[in-house]
Structure 1
Amino acid sequence: MFGWEYPPHVYGGLATANYGITEGLHAQGDMDITLCLPKPWGDEDRTPANIVAMNSVPVAWRDVDYDYVQGRVGNIMSPELYYRLRDHIYGDFNYMHVNDLGCLEFAGGYPSNLHEEINNYSVIAGVVARTLDFDIIHAHDWLTYPAGIHAKLASGKPLCIHVHATDFDRSRGHVNPTVYGIEKDGMDNADCIMCVSELTRQTVINQYHQDPRKVFTVHNAVYPLKQEWQDIPRPDHKGKEKVVTFLGRLTMQKGPEYFVEAANMVLHRTRNVRFCMAGSGDMMDQMIYLAAERGIADRFHFPGFMRGEQVYECLKRSDVYVMPSVSEPFGISPLEAMQCGTPSIISKQSGCAEILTNCIKVDYWDIHALADAIYSICHNESLFEYLSMEGKREVDQITWNKVGLLIRRLYEQQVLVQR
């Protein structure tokens, strides 16, 4: 399995989904997962998967002693695996910027030289594919598609790709031709394409011209709250200033400006509401200025990027969660909010709208409907209680174990049958 990010080092929703899918497959008991990460840190949960540190896989021969290797990479990968991988280097990559172990370094996350790192990751995938024993290749999102293709060419094993988003979602239609090319190449070479929603599946079929018979919808899920997060108390909804939260990247894909405009409309009807816009992104300054222009800056909070326990503290202190995404392949955050008993409003243009019932759905552009929904949940006690209780009950049934079983069926039906 090729993945770009993994908890606890979370840069976006991909890490959450990657972990959930890995957990769901591991839970079946008879599946071994080797997860290839560009730059693991050593504190990842290694129960569901054996982690290969791609920044510790040699692509150029170096005569180094065991103790030195142990000191350099022992916290993220065993020296034995380093030497085993070294014996399967298939070309002279000394021209690349390798370190003293013959390995390529990675910055982690999404650096300015991202395309170079994607290429380096795919080169290393060739060494891994020639060394390890496996039945199926599973590549998550466009960053790992070249690695998946390379592993398929090196091993002859079938390739599944998991489409968590396409550049049509990220760019509002202003597609980057380089990214589109990488995405389409991955899809053309895949034996099975898994999409996080029917919305995304249709994009893959229509915009990337894929055979519908190999494209399947595999909705995301949510894993159970850790006990310490369950123990975070929820403030009483009654008789207090209400809190309405947006939590996500502040980019045009997520529709943050619609949240601010709806907030402005709500605040013309009541001043007993505060708005929290948690996250970071290229539209953050624009949103701060927009709140100031509308004269509602005193009711707005911008706490920045949140992770782990901070997320769940924020969600439990909120009376309403809003995801007004313009284009959202799935969107796990409303499920996390509903887990916390927080009523959610989501855009009809999101993949999770296909499977969620006990939430309010509006068109992302309809700020009047969004404002009405926010105001209603804040001021209608019965509506708040119903959505809080039934929403939690609903998402507690949407588990990664079920997703893992569906992926297994696709492996068996679409991939292993080809062998």
Structure 2
Amino acid sequence: MRVLMFGWEFPPHISGGLGTACYGLVKGLDHHKQEIIFVVPKLWGDEEPLADFVNASDVTLDYREKKFKSIWKNLTYLEVSSFLVPYLGPEEYQKFTDYAIHDRVDLDESIFTSKYAFSGKYGKNLMEEVSRYALTAAQIARDRDDFELIHAHDWLSFPAGIAAKEISGKPLIAHVHATEYDRSGESVNPPVFEIEKAGMEAADHILAVSHLTKNTIVNKYGIPAEKVSVLHNAVLDASIIKSKYQKKVPEKIVTFLGRITFQKGPEYFVEAAKKVIDRDPNVRFVMAGSGDLLNRMVDRVAELNIASKFHFTGFLKGDDVDHMYAISDVYVMPSVSEPFGISPLEAVRHNTPTIISKQSGVAEVLVNAIKIDFWDIDAMADAIFALLHYQSISNMFKELGSKELKRLKWEHVAERLVKTYEKILAEKS
């Protein structure tokens, strides 16, 4: 089977879990001998050759295609905002738009060129790039007839998937890794919500990374439940990582690793840290990541007078992430709303006992982790204290977690996805 797949990023150039999930899925599909045409706004040249990659920045548009005009008319959200950036909280979003709104360009002039140099990032011209990506997708779908269906990942690629479907008539799968409700709570950004909803409505089938996400799709976007199936994320390698990296401090280390935004619940981690340190001052807490709530968290740590035991590392990547997991005695993911959450699986791979919020998709597949409500800082603090001070409990989670990983592989996920592909094609034929 040959699939035309649209994403926004691919390792090693990623900013979060979306690129990691795309990599795992493509590698799993490659294991099952599926052929993937993977389109990204910008290729960097060092991507692992797992697919037939297409660099959208190299595609030349031919505006003699009449359908381009109808596709452009449907991209009305561009008129609402050309400076929207994903993963910002309401506070940082407001600051960003205050200056970005004064720095717009003539959109028609920039969009309607024969070639377009995508940044491949999440900058102030993001919505312009999303729009051009859709037009480019139409061109790719028109030029190539060697695919059987279309698979688009998240809202940034949904307009591209819709455009490719309009040109080719091939079925579209919309893969939802996160919704605007996960990123922003109830204060959703209307343009993103409308793009998500349009993508879900246009799709022949929707994949959700968890039952939690499926419920949001059904209840918030009005999509029939039978149109949505759940495809959990996984890990690339189920083996336990035995790192030689040693921590340089005698205290136990408790880690939060992720975007420091509303969605990830960093404030609950800080409040729980205070409770643990009051009971045992010989513990260090680490918040690894960046985001719009970072300054607020630094201020709160100072207010609580725990700064000598609390560390902010900034954004980590590559080996630094592995080193952080390796020196951690407990990993905590207190997400307010986490569609899935791959990081706890990575923590388990490093033999690190894990605490996760019940409001996460990974809680549906990771049995051997302590699960708490994100808002229950007393329960979080008690769980952290127990894992740090009762070695038998910690060892139990390490042993059971390593066994559990073996059933959470991307090739198993890809096998289920191939069956979904086959079912959709059978229904269409």
Work out whether the TM-score is over 0.5.
yes
Matched, 1:258 2:265: no
Taking structure 1 as reference, are residues 88 and 44 closer, same or farther at Cα in structure 2, changes over 3 Å only? farther
- Structure 2 unaligned blocks of 5 or more: 73-106
Deviations 1:214-243 (A, max 9, x none): 1001000011179xx935226599x94100
Cα shift at 1:96: 3.7
Taking structure 1 as reference, are residues 27 and 96 closer, same or farther at Cα in structure 2, changes over 3 Å only? farther
User: For 1:134, what is the secondary structure of its paired residue?
Assistant: coil
Contact 2:41 2:118 in 1 (8 A): yes
Aligned to 1:67: none
For 2:67 and 2:59, the matched residues in 1 are separated by 13
TM-score of the superposed pair, with normalisation by structure 2: 0.86
Matched, 1:219 2:232: yes
User: For 2:45, what is the secondary structure of its paired residue?
Assistant: coil
Deviations 1:302-347 (A, max 9, x none): 1111112211111011000000000000000000000110000000
User: For 1:414, what is the secondary structure of its paired residue?
Assistant: helix
Cα shift at 1:50: 1.1
Aligned to 1:55: 57
Contact 2:68 2:135 in 1 (8 A): no
Contact 1:59 1:89 in 2 (8 A): no
Cα shift at 1:14: 0.3
For 2:66 and 2:428, the matched residues in 1 are separated by 29
Contact 2:241 2:351 in 1 (8 A): no
Aligned to 2:157: 144
Deviations 1:2-46 (A, max 9, x none): 0001100111110100101111111102x1101000111001111
Cα shift at 1:393: 1.9
Q: 1:35 aligns with which of 35, 38, 41?
A: 38
Cα shift at 1:98: 7.0
Taking structure 1 as reference, are residues 384 and 91 closer, same or farther at Cα in structure 2, changes over 3 Å only? closer
Q: How many residues align?
A: 388
Contact 2:111 2:128 in 1 (8 A): no
The 5-angstrom pairing of residues 280-299 of structure 1 reads 280-299=290-309
Q: 2:195 aligns with which of 166, 182, 188?
A: 182
Aligned to 1:79: none
Q: Which amino acid aligns with 1:24?
A: G
Aligned to 1:153: 166
Q: Which amino acid aligns with 2:57?
A: N
For 2:309 and 2:130, the matched residues in 1 are separated by 42
CA RMSD of aligned residues (A): 2.3
Cα shift at 1:360: 0.2
Cα shift at 1:207: 1.1
Aligned to 1:120: 132
For 1:343 and 1:95, the matched residues in 2 are separated by 53
Q: Segments of 4+ in structure 1 off by > 6 A?
A: 87-90
For 2:247 and 2:322, the matched residues in 1 are separated by 16
Contact 2:238 2:409 in 1 (8 A): no
Cα shift at 1:60: 5.2
Aligned to 1:230: 241
Q: Which amino acid aligns with 2:243?
A: I
For 2:256 and 2:339, the matched residues in 1 are separated by 17
Aligned to 2:84: none
